[in-house]
Amino acid sequence: MKISAIARVRHDDRVDDGYEYLGNGPEATGNGAGWVMSGDLYARCTGCGSLMSLDPTEHDDCVCGAMNKDPDAARFGSTLGDAAIEVWDLSQTPAYLML
Ligand SMILES: [Zn+2]
C-alpha cells in the first residue's frame, strides 16, 4: 500500500478533494446564464459553507439563510449574489459523505 494514500490530507469536512469544483454562479452549471438544476450538482454558500443539492424538486435553505431554493416558484439564488454560490459536482462522492 502506498503511504500517500494513507496520509491524504483533508482540509475541510464537507469540501473534499474527491469533489469537483466547477466554479461560481450559474455559468458553472452549464453553458448558459441560467442555473441548470441537477441532483448530481451541489451549491455551497460562501457565507456559511453549507452544501445544498441542486435537485430541482426539493425545497432548501442554507444555514445562514442567504441561499434559498424554491421549486414551487422555480427560484434559486443567494442574497449575497450568484458569485457567492460555489458549484460542486458530488456525483462521485460516497454516500456516507453526503450531508
Ligand atoms: Zn449560507
26: containing domain: 15-93
- List pLDDT tens digits, range 65-79: 999 999 999 899 999
Q: Is residue 69 part of a domain?
A: yes
Question: pLDDT class for 3, splitting at 50, 70, 90?
Answer: very low
Cα(80) to ligand 1 centroid in Å equals: 9
Q: Is residue 76 part of a domain?
A: yes
63 three-class SS = coil
Q: Is residue 3 part of a domain?
A: no
If DSSP states are collapsed to H, E and C, what string results for 9-54?
Answer: CCCCCCCCCCCEEEEECHHHHCCCCCCCCCCCEEEEECCCCCEEEC
Q: Is residue 10 part of a domain?
A: no
One-letter amino acid at 31 equals: N
Q: Is residue 41 part of a domain?
A: yes
Q: Is residue 2 part of a domain?
A: no
- List pLDDT tens digits, range 5-28: 333 334 444 555 567 899 999 999
Cα(73) to ligand 1 centroid in Å equals: 20
| Cell, residue 14 | 464537507
Q: Is residue 4 part of a domain?
A: no
Alpha-carbon span 65 to 58, nearest angstrom: 16
Cα(5) to ligand 1 centroid in Å equals: 33
Average predicted confidence (pLDDT) for the chain:
81
Q: Is residue 88 part of a domain?
A: yes
Give the number of domains in the chain: 1
